[in-house]
Chain A
Amino acid sequence: MQAYLTLVRRELGGFFIALTGYIIIAAVLFLVGLSFADMLVKLNGSATDAPLTEEFFVTVYFWLILLLTAPIMTMRSFAAEKFSGTFETLMTAPVGDLQVVLAKFSAALVFFLLTWLPLVIYILIIRRYSNDGALLDWRVVSSMVLGILLIGSLYISLGCLSSSLTRSQMIAAMISYGLGLGLFLLSLRALIAAPPEGWQAKLFSYISMTEHMQDFARGVIDTRRLVFYLSLTVLFLFLTLKVVESRRWK
């Protein structure tokens, strides 16, 4: 446990020592800010019965943040260590492979959540000026945060897997962009071109992340979604673990 916490601290520290951490924070701040401004314009326009969180999150900004930042955040995790050789000193210290994988994953996830922190300010602003307590129900907000957390976990575990496959951060980022974008395009296909009925429609609604996020933003927590994200995250982390272990295969 001590080794795990030490590693998480080191990984998190890494984000703040290097410039990339701040660039990511700035980018997220910019995109969330744009999203907020967009929403304010909408609110000034015609009335809508959709919850505010949906206006906020079922937008292109959310997906941009997710698709852009997750690969950048995770590309370092294994690739950079393999490139510089510190992977060898790390793996010859008395730490388990699983500990290393989990530490890298959780540090990236914590950083990912930290970049979303400005959101709190926007929520407070809306609360302060809307005079309507029901506008942002805390249950809906937490369901939305859960959505961010789950989808974020999936993308970050995907990023860890890509990073463990190569020594080059560039290639790691490209692999996770490719896989992440592919996953997202499947969702879009479900939105645009899926047949209205039959097994295909069913399949696409299961895997459509845009639809999932819409549910979360409305405060709907569906166990099928929980299972979908958790199992995929675990799967990618398991594969990462196997890749890390593979150096010791006979």
Chain B
Amino acid sequence: MKDSLMIEVSELTKRYAGRTAVDEVSFSVARGEVVGLLGPNGAGKSTILRILSCFLAATSGTVSVAGFDVFSQSHEVRRRMGYMPENNPLPGEMRVREYLKFRARLKGLSASQTRERVAAVTEQCGLTDVSRKIIGHLSKGYRQRVGLADALVHEPELIILDEPTIGFDPNQIRAVRKLIKDLGRKHTILMSSHILPEVEMTCSRIIILHQGRILAADTTENLQRTLSSDGQVIAEIAAPITALTECWKEMELIEHFDIAPAEGDFHRCALTPRAGVDIRPLIFEQARAKGWTLRELTRSRHTLEDIFVHVVRGDKEDSL
């Protein structure tokens, strides 16, 4: 069991002078998972990633990566981890190939391994065309790929990405997202973002942070299920309002309903089922049995955005 855990964080706290950036955070990431850290700016995402990457030390709590402690065995951790910091800092004066070679040698690869791996990551990250260019002259999208190639060059078990798609245009975001998804097949990935659809699309599990604390942590689907509004179903049916009211009242699975007139004969019904059951087939059956025209039947699936606003607002109301 222990072996299958890539990251284990327990009661991690980081205090800067007079401010607690991370407050008793505990979570773990299994091998092969793609996990997203989500939170507004200043939630403590970067601080957690910096501690994981051995750049900063925690005030208290323990963090281990692949079974090694990040503080006392940081060398072992760093050898197994590829890290791309926020804003992806790169030396602007070096050429792409030269930089990747330097990083590979720095990470302890032999000369022949370096040749092989640099060629491999250049190909993998789509840098073949620019490998001789000076990094400072590259577009932001290419620079990001250089950062990713650097994180990958020593074949790390764990890849940590801090805001990998910040400041991109939509096309570039799509390209980076695809790259991350591909990487997720072979590596464990922990990435942070404040853009919700981003983690929703790339990560299998999400940890929501706010003011240094974990608000929610679950798989993407579970989060949506538990936090979306109980699987509420919207149905637009052409039927008299009285018939509809009667029908919904009779159905035991419906806890609560609302009916609002729509254009023509149609009425828009918002139906809240008991215990999160999917009642769409039942409603379709009812409509067919009664000969009503059904023109819309949807289950409102909340986006992460809603979840996020919901969770964060809830927290704020608690503290008021």
Contact of B54 among A87, A89, A92, A250 (CB under 8 A): A92
- Does A95 make an interface contact (CB < 8 A)? yes
Given A84-B91, A86-B90, A93-B78: A250 touches B57 (CB 8 Å cut-off): yes
A2: chain B residues at CB < 8 Å are: 105, 108
Contact of A92 among B59, B78, B90, B102 (CB under 8 A): B78
- Does B58 make an interface contact (CB < 8 A)? yes
- Does B79 make an interface contact (CB < 8 A)? yes
B53: chain A residues at CB < 8 Å are: 92
Contact assessment for A7 and B87 in the assembled complex, using a CB-CB cutoff below 8 Å? no
A224: chain B residues at CB < 8 Å are: none
Contact assessment for B55 and A94 in the assembled complex, using a CB-CB cutoff below 8 Å? no
- Does A85 make an interface contact (CB < 8 A)? yes
Contact assessment for B93 and A93 in the assembled complex, using a CB-CB cutoff below 8 Å? no
A7 to B103, CA, bound (A): 10
Contact assessment for A95 and B55 in the assembled complex, using a CB-CB cutoff below 8 Å? no
Kindly report which residue of chain A lies nearest to residue B92, judged by CB atoms.
A84
A250: chain B residues at CB < 8 Å are: 57-60
Stretch from A10-18, A30-38, A137-145 contacting the other chain: A10-18
What sequence of 0s and 1s flags, for each residue 1-31 of chain A, a beta carbon within 8 Å of any chain B beta carbon?
0110011001000100110000000000000
Number of chain A interface residues as a range: 20 to 34
Contact assessment for A247 and B55 in the assembled complex, using a CB-CB cutoff below 8 Å? yes
Kindly report which residue of chain A lies nearest to residue B60, judged by CB atoms.
A250
Contact of A6 among B50, B93, B105 (CB under 8 A): B105
A84: chain B residues at CB < 8 Å are: 89, 91-92
A6: chain B residues at CB < 8 Å are: 102, 105-106
Contact of A3 among B87, B90, B92, B106 (CB under 8 A): B106
- Does A91 make an interface contact (CB < 8 A)? yes
A96 to B78, CA, bound (A): 11
Chain A residues 78 to 106 lying within 8 A of chain B, measured CB to CB, are 84-96
A6 to B98, CA, bound (A): 12
- Does A199 make an interface contact (CB < 8 A)? no
Contact assessment for A93 and B59 in the assembled complex, using a CB-CB cutoff below 8 Å? no
- Does B23 make an interface contact (CB < 8 A)? no
A107 vs chain B, min Cβ distance (A): 13
- Does B175 make an interface contact (CB < 8 A)? no
A78 to B59, CA, bound (A): 25
- Does A248 make an interface contact (CB < 8 A)? yes
Contact assessment for B87 and A85 in the assembled complex, using a CB-CB cutoff below 8 Å? yes
Given A88-B85, A91-B55, A249-B57: A17 touches B105 (CB 8 Å cut-off): no
- Does B308 make an interface contact (CB < 8 A)? no
Contact of B55 among A10, A14, A17, A92 (CB under 8 A): A92
Contact assessment for A93 and B106 in the assembled complex, using a CB-CB cutoff below 8 Å? yes
Contact assessment for B55 and A88 in the assembled complex, using a CB-CB cutoff below 8 Å? yes
Contact assessment for B102 and A85 in the assembled complex, using a CB-CB cutoff below 8 Å? no
Contact assessment for A18 and B93 in the assembled complex, using a CB-CB cutoff below 8 Å? yes
Contact assessment for A85 and B57 in the assembled complex, using a CB-CB cutoff below 8 Å? no
A87: chain B residues at CB < 8 Å are: 89
A249: chain B residues at CB < 8 Å are: 57
A2 to B94, CA, bound (A): 20
Contact assessment for A94 and B108 in the assembled complex, using a CB-CB cutoff below 8 Å? yes
Kindly report which residue of chain B lies nearest to residue A86, judged by CB atoms.
B89
B57 vs chain A, min Cβ distance (A): 4
Contact assessment for A248 and B56 in the assembled complex, using a CB-CB cutoff below 8 Å? yes
Kindly report which residue of chain B lies nearest to residue A87, judged by CB atoms.
B89
- Does B107 make an interface contact (CB < 8 A)? yes
- Of the A-B pairs whose beta carbons lie under 8 Å apart in the complex, a sample of 22, sorted by A's number, is A3-B105, A6-B105, A7-B106, A17-B93, A84-B91, A84-B92, A85-B85, A86-B91, A89-B89, A92-B54, A93-B78, A93-B106, A93-B107, A94-B75, A94-B79, A94-B107, A95-B106, A248-B54, A248-B55, A248-B56, A250-B58, A250-B59
Given A2-B105, A2-B108, A248-B71, 9 more pairs with CB closer than 8 A: A3-B105, A10-B102, A10-B106, A17-B94, A84-B91, A85-B89, A86-B89, A92-B54, A247-B57
Residue ranges of A at the interface with B (Cβ–Cβ < 8 Å): 2-3, 6-7, 10, 14, 17-18, 84-96, 247-250
